Chains A and B, each alone.
Chain A
Amino acid sequence: MNDTWVVELAFAAMILGTPLIFATIGEIMTERSGILNLGVQGMMLVGAVSAFWATYNTENLLLGLIAGLLAGAALSVIHAFTSVTLRVNQIVSGLALTIFGTGLASFLGQAGSDPLVGNPSPVVFEPIFTGGIADWPIVGPLLFGHDLMVYVAWAVAGLASYYLFRTKMGLALRAVGEDPASAESAGINVSAVRYAYVMVGGALAGVGGAYYSLKIVPTWQDDPIGEAGWIAIALVILASWRPWRAVFAAYLFGAAERVQFTLQTLGEPWSNIPSTILAMTPFVLAIIAMIVLTSGKRARFLGAPAALGIPYFREQR
């Protein structure tokens, strides 16, 4: 029962979707403060290489996670500085950090006398429960058969959702992303809020990257995450900037990534669907969602924070 292609696909989808959950929720928090961070791809990559390096040298997964988190946050500080303090173009700043982060991750992986490239990680994230509940039909592997990070991702989603909609700080965050001038009038420090959540986004992106290098592709290589960072940016829109929807969207795209393999095992005619067309789907869906969700009445309920991407100049009242 547990090795039907459905269960197998769902299981893989949850694993592949987990780093997307982290990165997407991170970017949701950033964008909720009004800052657009196109540097997610770069932050995930530096997170991946830092986590790998740390775990490679210490054989400790937790240190790897922390390293990934810090690396992503560190890169994001640059974006916060250019976007919030200098108030220059957020789009170009984000793209620059992706380019830089991509180069840096690759560089660090290849550099030195004993480069990381090609080496497997000594430790990877393993499922917590082996046997027992994990063997129950369907529910077993899907709910209990995963490693720690899958569950951490759920916790992050729950926490983010609660924080955003049921706490005072979350309210302040949402206000800053919608109307920074009014938020400032209500006594909120817009700059501080934006710095904080850009860094939260970077940190979560770093954690997402760490999951790639410590679980999904645990041998360091030059392109460990594919287009995950860009997909995360698309997922933010598909999730209407809500954390729980990000989980489902991420699992959906984890499935899309995995389904190529599944289709092969199913044989004709399924195996004939080109992987390239499948790979397009998150991006096509994101465009459709952008057009549908951001025009008309729907937009006010499901759309982007109103001040997204617009630099805030405090003097203007």
Chain B
Amino acid sequence: MVDAAKNETLAVELRNIDKAFYGVKANSEVDFQLRRGEVHALLGENGAGKSTLCSILAGLYRPDSGEMFFEGEPANFKTPKDALAAGVGMVYQHFRLVANLTVAENLALGHPDVGIRLDQSELHKDAVQLGETYGLGVDPSARIWQLSVGEQQRVEILKLLYRNAKVLILDEPTAVLTPQEAQALFKTMRQMAEEGRSVIFVSHKLHEVKQVSDRVTVLRGGKTVGGVDTADAEPRDLARMMVGRDLELPTRDVGAPPGEAVLSVTDLRVQSDRGLEAVAGMTFDVRAGEVVGISGVSGNGQRELAYGLVGLRNPTSGTVILGGNDVTSASVLQHIKQGIAYVPQSRLGMGLAPGLTTEENLALKAFRDPPYSKSGRLVQSAFRDEGAREVEQYDIRGVRPGLPIRLLSGGNLQKALVAREVELKPIVLIARSPTRGLDVGATEAVRNLILAERERGAGVLLISEDLDELLALSDRLLVIYEGEIVGRMPVEDATAERLGLLMAGQREEASA
């Protein structure tokens, strides 16, 4: 309860926190200490348990076991409302702002101290005052949708300050900010800390952590790996803590040397949903018979890169050449016809039609042509026979006639998805996190399918956050950070430290 070093009550303390979802442990024996008046960074890869830990602190989840103390007293938050009442609030990556209401209205919403009658002028005054104090200026009468993302984030922080939050948790706040906005945010964070509030700052970017935090806690695989004073922490140590044990390279057939480039990407730029540049000028090739792995923490442009390559989003500039044809602004259908296959990250949301049967899903891209259809008419027997063959060949289990595919287990869903894509015999296969969330058997099956494509002479682009997966399958690795390629290396040269540093934004002196 008392911080030995500083001999005063801790703002927050977590002891031995466990939290599991459906049998998978997201947090395991986590200890965490937050001092008053500090900016404390929470560092870790995706899936490390940072968001879960923060959600527990903010009252969104209840821990399965362990204890939580707030300002020295035991804390048992049942809902976020409880946490907020106690003084703990979180700014989520997806803002909880009502777009059509004004800033002032969003501040007042659900606030316990606001009276029945809404005094707009008073609310406005408070908002302006808070904004000025903390460098979070926003126009109180503006509607949320009129604000830039950076300004919206300010409103989220103002909301917490308006409730006099003493502990503020910011989940990857700089992901949506320009560099200048990020600097302004850091100033605000330090100011809040100077007042005696505590800020938890979740990030995967080492330079930011170094710049703004007092202490750092690293999470990996659901456990705390270390808590150090930022001043004492070396980036390479932090990176190693984030990424973990030395990665072993599995033995694999070297195979035939790769052939010509089947996918050439030149200075590609693609916008994000919000209109910012998510892919900021990427140039790379994928050759026939090789697997190129793109590693990086999610949110650095991977999604937009994939969309830009398969036709789901038109790049703003740059070119994409597929098998000799310029497909930069071609439609999705043209991309498919030119020989690109795509295993998306979202299985049931995009890759598969959840209510349709397995055999219908297996024909999702091929149905326009024989044997599936003849002169506009579907050939049911082709669906049945091809479906049965593929189910057998790719070991897709749980399939019954007429059963909607969403009832299959995750592993079988993915096997079906990947099976369909490789059946297209593509020139280029793009796969995003193909073995995420799968059990051992399914993981191996999917990996083998990808390697088989490599054997066949296709070019494979593997976009993933899972370093094990990348190392097991790739011939070459590229590291993506903030929409650019910051590192290139053959897989033999990849080490945990090197990848960790690059993924966290630390550039190398000489890049490949």
In the complex, A touching B (Cβ < 8 A)? yes
Contact with A168, one of B97, B100, B108 (Cβ below 8 angstroms): B108
A171-B108, A172-B110, A183-B109 in contact; A166/B98 too (CB < 8 A)? no
Q: How far is the CB of A160 from chain B (nearest CB, A)?
A: 15
CA–CA, A221 and B376, complex, Å: 55
Q: Is the CB of B143 within 8 A of A171?
A: no
- Which stretch in B115-123, B229-237, B318-326 binds the other chain? B115-123
CA–CA, A164 and B145, complex, Å: 20
Q: Mark A295-317, 1 if CB is under 8 A from B, else 0.
A: 00000100001100000000000
In terms of DSSP, what is the predominant structure of the interface of chain B? loop
State the interface size on chain A (CB cutoff 8 A): 22
Q: Is the CB of B110 within 8 A of A186?
A: yes
Q: Which residues of A contact B117 (CB under 8 A)?
A: 166-168
Q: Which residues of A contact B403 (CB under 8 A)?
A: none
Contact with A182, one of B97, B115, B116, B145 (Cβ below 8 angstroms): B97
Q: Is the CB of A185 within 8 A of B118?
A: no
Nearest residue, chain B, Cβ from A299: B100
B73-108 interface with A by 8 A CB criterion = 79-81, 84, 95-101, 105, 108
Interface centre among A166, A169, A179, A188 (most CB of B within 10 A): A179
CA–CA, A269 and B143, complex, Å: 50
Q: Is the CB of B99 within 8 A of A179?
A: yes
Q: Which residues of B contact A171 (CB under 8 A)?
A: 101, 105, 108-109, 118
Q: Is B356 an interface residue (CB 8 A)?
A: no
CA–CA, A175 and B143, complex, Å: 13
Q: Which residues of A contact B101 (CB under 8 A)?
A: 171, 174-175, 178
Q: Is B114 an interface residue (CB 8 A)?
A: yes
Q: Is the CB of A179 within 8 A of B98?
A: yes
Q: Which residues of B contact A175 (CB under 8 A)?
A: 98, 101, 105, 109
Q: Is A112 an interface residue (CB 8 A)?
A: no
Q: How far is the CB of A31 from chain B (nearest CB, A)?
A: 14
A186-B109, A188-B110 in contact; A168/B115 too (CB < 8 A)? yes
Q: Which residues of B contact A186 (CB under 8 A)?
A: 96, 109-110
Q: Is A289 an interface residue (CB 8 A)?
A: no
Q: Mark A147-187, 1 if CB is under 8 A from B, else 0.
A: 00000000000000000011111111011001101110111
A185-B80, A187-B81, A300-B145 in contact; A306/B115 too (CB < 8 A)? no
Q: Is the CB of B116 within 8 A of A178?
A: no
Q: Which residues of B contact A188 (CB under 8 A)?
A: 109-110
Q: How far is the CB of A61 from chain B (nearest CB, A)?
A: 32
Nearest residue, chain A, Cβ from B82: A187
Q: How far is the CB of A311 from chain B (nearest CB, A)?
A: 17
Q: Is the CB of A168 within 8 A of B114?
A: yes
Q: How far is the CB of B221 from chain A (nearest CB, A)?
A: 24
Nearest residue, chain A, Cβ from B80: A185
Q: Which residues of A contact B118 (CB under 8 A)?
A: 165-168, 170-171
CA–CA, A172 and B118, complex, Å: 11
CA–CA, A26 and B148, complex, Å: 35
Q: Which residues of A contact B97 (CB under 8 A)?
A: 179, 182
Q: Is the CB of A169 within 8 A of B110?
A: no
Q: Is the CB of A182 within 8 A of B96?
A: yes
Nearest residue, chain A, Cβ from B109: A186
Q: Is the CB of B115 within 8 A of A185?
A: no
Q: Mark A111-143, 1 if CB is under 8 A from B, else 0.
A: 000000000000000000000000000000000
Q: Which residues of A contact B84 (CB under 8 A)?
A: 187
Q: Is the CB of B81 within 8 A of A300?
A: no
Q: Mark B291-305, 1 if CB is under 8 A from A, else 0.
A: 000000000000000
CA–CA, A188 and B100, complex, Å: 17
Q: Which residues of A contact B100 (CB under 8 A)?
A: 174, 178-179, 300, 305-306
Q: Is the CB of B105 within 8 A of A168?
A: no
Q: How far is the CB of B142 from chain A (nearest CB, A)?
A: 12
CA–CA, A172 and B110, complex, Å: 7
Q: How far is the CB of B65 from chain A (nearest CB, A)?
A: 23
Q: Mark B111-141, 1 if CB is under 8 A from A, else 0.
A: 0001111101000000000000000000000
CA–CA, A172 and B143, complex, Å: 16
Q: Which residues of B contact A306 (CB under 8 A)?
A: 99-100
Q: Which residues of B contact A179 (CB under 8 A)?
A: 97-100
Nearest residue, chain A, Cβ from B115: A168
CA–CA, A205 and B339, complex, Å: 60
Q: Which residues of A contact B110 (CB under 8 A)?
A: 172, 183, 186-188
A166-B117, A166-B118 in contact; A172/B109 too (CB < 8 A)? yes
Q: Is the CB of A169 within 8 A of B116?
A: yes
Q: How far is the CB of B93 from chain A (nearest CB, A)?
A: 12
Q: Which residues of B contact A185 (CB under 8 A)?
A: 80, 96
CA–CA, A306 and B109, complex, Å: 17
Interface centre among A179, A181, A185 (most CB of B within 10 A): A185
A interface residues with partner B (beta carbon < 8 Å):
165-172, 174-175, 178-179, 181-183, 185-188, 300, 305-306
* 5 additional contacts (CB under 8 A) given A167-B118, A174-B101: A171-B105, A172-B110, A181-B96, A300-B100, A300-B143
B interface residues with partner A (beta carbon < 8 Å):
79-81, 84, 95-101, 105, 108-110, 114-118, 120, 143, 145
Q: Lowest 9 A-B CB distances belong to which pairs?
A: A186-B110, A187-B110, A185-B96, A182-B96, A179-B98, A187-B81, A186-B109, A178-B100, A178-B98
Residue contacts A-B, CB under 8 angstroms, 7 given: A178-B98, A178-B100, A179-B97, A181-B96, A187-B80, A187-B84, A188-B109
